[in-house]
Structure 1
Amino acid sequence: MNVLFDNRQDAFDVSENLKEKIVECIETALKVEKIEINNIEVSISFVTNEEIKNINLEFRNIDKETDVLSFPMDFEFSEEGMPYILGDIIISTEKSIEQAKMFGHSIDREILYLVCHSVFHLLGYDHIEESDKLVMRNKEKETMKLMEVFKNEEEF
């Protein structure tokens, strides 16, 4: 598992402990999905509200900030020894701080949930239809439970 971190914001200090928990979160989500590819690569970028708003406008034609964006890597090309690139996750730390306060839990917990949510998007899940939303939410809940990270927790 190779997780590439890119920090392009200064609203929140992304600790080494949080990075380790993010890697664990991705690995746990893949186990929930019964994916056993060892050479997986995911990139995670921490950005400002302004940057995520611009990305949201460019790629989704939605002119507002959001908490997280997921960009699956959809290509068939693979060469032996190359990592399987799952995709990119872009997180607004400002939105994460706001939502953590709203839900009454830590910012780390909020970011872990957003990573979990995004991994399932990278794996092809969506929540547009209610039935799909239920499946995706159950996978998210199972992942967070296996990690022992729960709602309304101030620390983990």
Structure 2
Amino acid sequence: MTTAVSLDRDDIPGVLAAVVLVNLVGSAPAALGGPGSAWFQSLAKPVIYPPPWLFGVVWPLLFTLLGVALYLVWRADHPSRRLALGLFVAQMAFNVAWTPVFFRAQNLALALGVIGGLLVLAVPTAVAFGRIERTAGLLVVPYLLWVAFAAVLNYRFLALN
């Protein structure tokens, strides 16, 4: 059974801490390299590749939504909370692993495997979050959609290069 979401002023520090934490963890791999590298610039880009600036807008927004969802589940008194949090940590580990595999190791096939693992973990994370707090589950949906798009994009990079 899910609970009704209600946040008050006492929740602000927790929400902010969760949002900052998820954004820091999620964006940390970017320091290892990214789309500015000569290797990436030399790749054939899929037709569906969005403008590069969009990634800098979308990821912080998605990580912010995940942070709020994480806080809602963290504070819930629910028997499945531990499982949901474990799934969240596991899927974030795959999220963090993708960037160095794709950009640093320059291994498009392995990166596709990593993002596939991320999707396999993110779906039950969203379901587990939704069982605890409906709003938390819904906050994960945009992330799921973007990761699914990123997986298709990764596949297209692999197919073209």
Scaled by the length of structure 1, the TM-score of the pair is 0.32
Scaled by the length of structure 2, the TM-score of the pair is 0.31
Higher helix share: 2
Q: Indicate the structure (1 or 2) with the bigger Cα radius of gyration.
A: 2
Higher strand share: 1
